[in-house]
Amino acid sequence: MNFRVISQGICLIFFLYLLFQAAFPLSSFFPADTFLRLDPLISLGTMISSRAWIWSLFPGFIILGLTLILGRFFCGYVCPMGTTIDLSDRLFKIRSGSKRLKNEQRASLLKLKFYVLFFILGAGILSISWVFSAAPLSLITRLYGLIIYPVLIFVTDIFLDLTMPFSMMLGLDFLTYAEPQVLRFATQWFIAAFFGSVMLLVYFSPRFWCRYLCPSGAMMALLGRKPLIRRHVSSECTHCGMCEKKCPMNAIQNDPFQTVYQECIVCQTCVRVCPEQAVNFKPGWKSDIIADRDFIPSRRRVIAAAAVGAGSAIIAHTGIAAVKNDLVPGNIMPHSLIRPPGAVLERDFQSRCVRCGLCMKACPTNTLQPVWLEAGLDGIFSPKMLPRRGPCEVMCNVCGHVCPTGAIRALSLEEKMWARVGTSYVIPYKCLAWEWDRECLVCYEVCPYAAIELKRVDSRSVPVPYVLPNKCSGCGACEYHCPVQAGSAIIVEPMEALRMNTGSYIETGRAIGMDLEADPDRQRRPPDYLFDPQGPGDLPPGFSF
Ligand code: SF4
Ligand code: SF4
């Protein structure tokens, strides 16, 4: 096993470990988003679209700096997307150098990744971020976090069920009672289909994605055209063609002495396969060892790609794409779009969020779900809260702490409590108490902030719920637990959501009259007088009009 494969294996295992650790409570020594911070496109693209210097994304620039010296080493040794694609190449038994594409086809396809890159940067200049659509670390985190991880947990759960009789027989109590939390996410079929296609593209060429489509690879290709550590071929070369045939990136074309460095991922396959041991990598500055032909598109085409990206941003800004999604003036946010607590202002949120899905993977109640099209095409895959699936836990602030870009602020537990995501309200015609005159206290009992008040009204023989808006954080416990079937009778909407890019939520919340306090007595019982049909309405005993 060579050094590259070992490095790839270690990086993939570390990446998966960090992804697994992105859970409540956070325990990893390394930040769960370490790999996302290394992706140069996430760093540059997000900073351009959000017009902010984001310190946590600085490592992406270190990778770019190292590319100047080492070439595209990141693709060959680190990137989990590249490693996953290599694994799928092996699965589909695609051999290096397989020639399903003709030379001319390959030459024009090699320029595609630059168009993707400049399309994204062009849109970013106008504050629309398409980074999520092609940044490899965003894509691969989404694949493992939102598809593969839930599938593995599901399979484990079934396995534990099937083996329960044996576990009991063997006295393995920890297995008998183990109940892994099975996460479920919307949009998973689309994500699976996307990756299925990426993996199937290896039919045309190994590492198809990396060669032809990856915009991060394109950035590194631009900077790695004349690396300091270069491939050298000595005079022992007999022109046998083995290096050209085996190079997984087609970085050696026709002449074994020349290297297309923009494509070379420093995998050193050519070193290993050379029967004369004529190839090595060492520092060098001579230009004659660089291929006379590279595949950088013309300036005109690059500008055209950026202009198309900017055009897509203009369409997104003017709302043309959102006509079908109700995003009309006065109703900028769809009522179902409840962002996680600590999410910055919506426009900045969209330009910062790279849709990696780490917050969704880490959310212990599974309330964070990927958005489909309700926020327009540019909002796809960003996280929203779905309280009917789970409430936002009072004791959890994990989403902000795993977010690589600061789209969700990393807040203390107390600050997060004041980061109101919306306000709940009762739908009287569905409520058991209001509509059916039936005794029901569930929302009152489960609200962790005591934001529900029960009152007696003349028209009902049972107490009915009212929401106290200044005490409601929008956590969704009421919506989640409401026993009404097919949609709760009390729902959270993003109205009155407190979203700030900087500053204290507690101070701002107090200043606008919020009165949040986590109720230690979560399973409250209402006072008995409320249930006394002869009782004095909504006034406490001893009081009268
Ligand atoms: S080309 Fe892109 S996906 Fe492939 S290894 Fe490089 S960064 Fe990763
Ligand atoms: S908000 Fe969630 S999906 Fe978006 S960048 Fe942050 S962690 Fe990733």
Percent of the chain with pLDDT strictly greater than 90: 67
Distance CA(391)–CA(398), nearest Å, equals 14
Distance CA(254)–CA(222), nearest Å, equals 22
Show Cβ contacts of residue 458 under 8 Å, excluding neighbours closer than 6 positions: 537
Q: What pLDDT does residue 327 have? A: 55
Distance CA(184)–CA(367), nearest Å, equals 10
136 lines ligand 1 (CB under 6 A): yes
| Residues linked to residue 231 through DSSP beta bridges, in sequence order | 281
Peptide bond into 25 cis (omega under 30): yes
User: 423 C-alpha vs ligand 2 centroid, how far in Å?
Assistant: 23
Nearest ligand (C-alpha, residue 402):
2
Which residue has its alpha carbon closest to ligand 1 atom 5?
Answer: 75
Q: What pLDDT does residue 175 have? A: 85
424 lines ligand 1 (CB under 6 A): no
Which band of pLDDT confidence, cut at 50, 70 and 90, is reported for residue 332?
low
Give one word for 139, left, alpha or beta, with left for phi > 0 and alpha for psi -120 to 50. Answer: alpha
Which residue has its alpha carbon closest to ligand 1 atom 4?
Answer: 210
Rounded mean pLDDT of the chain? Answer: 89
Which band of pLDDT confidence, cut at 50, 70 and 90, is reported for residue 533?
low
Which residue has its alpha carbon closest to ligand 1 atom 1?
Answer: 210
Mean pLDDT of 433-454: 93
pLDDT of residue 288 exceeding 70, the answer is no
User: 39 C-alpha vs ligand 1 centroid, how far in Å?
Assistant: 9
Mean pLDDT of 280-306: 79
Q: What pLDDT does residue 157 have? A: 93
Q: What pLDDT does residue 278 have? A: 93
Q: Is 88 helix (H, G, I), strand (E, B) or coil?
A: helix
Q: Is 320 helix (H, G, I), strand (E, B) or coil?
A: helix
Mean pLDDT of 492-504: 95
Tens-digit pLDDT profile for residues 65-120: 999 999 999 999 999 999 999 998 888 765 554 556 777 777 889 999 999 999 99
DSSP 234-279: -TT-----HHHHH-TT--S-S-TT-B-TTT-----HHHHH-TT--E
Cβ neighbours, 10 Å, residue 383: 27
pLDDT of residue 333 exceeding 90, the answer is no
User: What pTM did the predictor assign?
Assistant: 0.89
Please say whether the beta carbons of 149 and 183 come within 8 A. yes
230 lines ligand 2 (CB under 6 A): no
Amino acid present at 262: Q
Which residue has its alpha carbon closest to ligand 2 atom 8?
Answer: 356
Probe residue for ligand 1, chosen from 81, 138, 140, 144 as the CB with the greatest number of ligand atoms within 8 Å: 81
pLDDT of residue 135 exceeding 60, the answer is yes
Mean pLDDT of 184-204: 88
Which residue has its alpha carbon closest to ligand 2 atom 2?
Answer: 359
Q: What pLDDT does residue 326 have? A: 53
Mean pLDDT of 325-346: 78
Probe residue for ligand 1, chosen from 210, 250, 263 as the CB with the greatest number of ligand atoms within 8 Å: 210
User: 407 C-alpha vs ligand 2 centroid, how far in Å?
Assistant: 6
Which band of pLDDT confidence, cut at 50, 70 and 90, is reported for residue 328?
low
Distance CA(138)–CA(144), nearest Å, equals 10
Q: What pLDDT does residue 545 have? A: 41
Q: What pLDDT does residue 521 have? A: 63
User: 213 C-alpha vs ligand 1 centroid, how far in Å?
Assistant: 9
214 lines ligand 1 (CB under 6 A): yes
Distance CA(431)–CA(482), nearest Å, equals 9
145 lines ligand 1 (CB under 6 A): no
Give one word for 493, left, alpha or beta, with left for phi > 0 and alpha for psi -120 to 50. Answer: beta
Nearest ligand (C-alpha, residue 42):
2
Which band of pLDDT confidence, cut at 50, 70 and 90, is reported for residue 343?
very high
**Ligand 1 nearest-atom number relative to CA 217:** 1
Nearest ligand (C-alpha, residue 78):
1
pLDDT top residue among 287 and 228? 228
Which band of pLDDT confidence, cut at 50, 70 and 90, is reported for residue 523?
low
Distance CA(10)–CA(17), nearest Å, equals 10
DSSP single-letter state for residue 485: S
pLDDT of residue 430 exceeding 60, the answer is yes
217 lines ligand 1 (CB under 6 A): yes
**Ligand 2 nearest-atom number relative to CA 352:** 5
- Poorest-pLDDT segment among 124-133, 308-317, 330-339, 448-457: 330-339
CA atoms within 13 A on the CB side of 311: 6
